[in-house]
Amino acid sequence: MKKSQLLLLIALMLIATVFISACGASGPKTIKIGINAPLTGDIPKVGEGTKYAAEMWLDDINKDGGLDVGGKKYKVELVIEDNESKADSATKANTKLITQDEVLAIVGPQSSKQAVPAGEVANNYKTPMISPWSTNPNTTLNRPWVFRAAFLDPFQGVVDAKFISDEFGFTKAAVLYDVASDYPKGLAEVFKKSWEDLHGAGSVVAFESFTTKDTDFSAQLTKIINSGAEVLFVPQYYNEVALIVQQAHELGWKGPIIGSDSWGSAETVKLCGSDCYGSFFSTHYAAAGATGATKEFIDRYNAKYGYVPDDVAALTWDSLNLLKQAIQDCGKITGDIAKDRQCVRDALANIKNFPGITGNMTFDDQGDPTKCAVIVKISDKGEFEFYKQACP
């Protein structure tokens, strides 16, 4: 008797809960946006830049009293999840953001290692996702719900190979990359292909690899030095860059060392020191020599957090503004999350010539932007200096 009463009570409460939540959904006052960032783990500086840019963006929205969609102001809430710079944590974070927090859209994860698997989740759940920093083709490939703000690995590999050939006139190159990580592996392979397209088969005289967490590269570097290579291409993250460049110099490497946008963190020079001076890398934007809206962003960020923002922060900023644009293009928020997500996705796909601080962007049919790359030189004072612009 007692038991059945209790069951009845629980059933009533459940029905009430469903009823109340259904009522509440009719007029949402907040728009939830998920941020999936590596706050801890291998590249915490990247996570910090993401968080800071997002908070700055939210401050702007709050200053205006909310996000204006079709003449109605909505409060915006950021749900920031840590992916520990791990692939499995990034997919978990995405699943939580989509199913539990019911965010409208997600910005992140940053590196391809997490963005490729996390994009799968977002696409399956039909939730728009913009990865600001990922440059691996697989992040957006055949995933209509996934976009990115950065250009692609293949494009960087091609640009770097062209830049080295034009700038130095070299014909023999060496590559050292992490075989266990999507980003360096993809980039190394594209660089090899485009270098060999330019200089013939066998012109990449050493194609050496290691695995994540390795710290000693002496065997690989000895091989590279003995191969007679004139230039070394290292598409690695900042913590490995410092070790590789220092060890290369200790083993007698004299040529230039070229990197990719993963070098573009404030930490690179801090960890690497004078060994990295004079190196080049391709990236999305250069803080030194910036003008207009880019400069305004850099100055505001610097004033607020005390250092010049790296490309992650700039791309996160652009991603959030792309999202803002798409939500506003939508015209209204219905409260039916599936419908709203569909509307935001379609709006994103239709954005043309969006004026971002990392360049004007238009999405192609894969959700990848068409934009230019920048070649940056690390000066003798350890600053990132704009060197050249390289367009596709």
Partner 1 sequence: MVSFFQNLVNALQWGSFYALIALGYSMVYGILMLFNFAHGDIFMVGAYIGFFVATGLLALTVSGSIALPGWLVLLLTIIIAMALNSIVGMLVERIGYRPLRDAPRASAAITGLMIGIILETGNLALLGAQRLSFPPLIATETYNIAGVNVTNKKIMIVGVALFLMLVLHLFITKTKWGMAMRAMAYDFAIIPLMGVPINLIAALTFGLGSALAAAAGILYGVAYPILDPYMGILIGWKAFVAAILGGRGSILGAAFAGFLLGFIEIFTATIFPSTFRDLIAYSIILIILTFRPHGLFGEAYSARLRL
- Residue 115 zone, left/alpha/beta (φ > 0; ψ -120 to 50; rest): alpha
Are the C-beta atoms of residues 191 and 135 closer than 8 Å to each other? no
Least distance from partner 1 to the Cβ atom of residue 74, Å: 34
Least distance from partner 1 to the Cβ atom of residue 319, Å: 23
Least distance from partner 1 to the Cβ atom of residue 339, Å: 39
Least distance from partner 1 to the Cβ atom of residue 209, Å: 5
Least distance from partner 1 to the Cβ atom of residue 55, Å: 18
Of 124 and 226, CB closest to partner 1: 226
Of 61 and 266, CB closest to partner 1: 266
The phi, psi pair for 34, rounded to 5°, reads -90, 140
Of 38 and 117, CB closest to partner 1: 38
Of 47 and 128, CB closest to partner 1: 47
CA-based nearest residue to 259, from 207, 313, 310, 184: 184
Of 223 and 388, CB closest to partner 1: 223
CA-based nearest residue to 223, from 196, 253, 200, 194: 253
Of 95 and 209, CB closest to partner 1: 209
Of 45 and 377, CB closest to partner 1: 45
Least distance from partner 1 to the Cβ atom of residue 283, Å: 20
Distances (CA, A) of 312 to 17, 236, 316: 41, 15, 6
Least distance from partner 1 to the Cβ atom of residue 208, Å: 5
Least distance from partner 1 to the Cβ atom of residue 40, Å: 4
Of 153 and 275, CB closest to partner 1: 275
Least distance from partner 1 to the Cβ atom of residue 207, Å: 8
Of 160 and 208, CB closest to partner 1: 208
Residue numbers at the binding site for partner 1 (CB under 8 A): 39-42, 44-45, 179, 208-211, 213, 215-216, 218-220, 222-223, 226, 239, 242-243, 246, 249-252, 267, 270-271, 273
CA-based nearest residue to 231, from 165, 307, 134, 293: 165
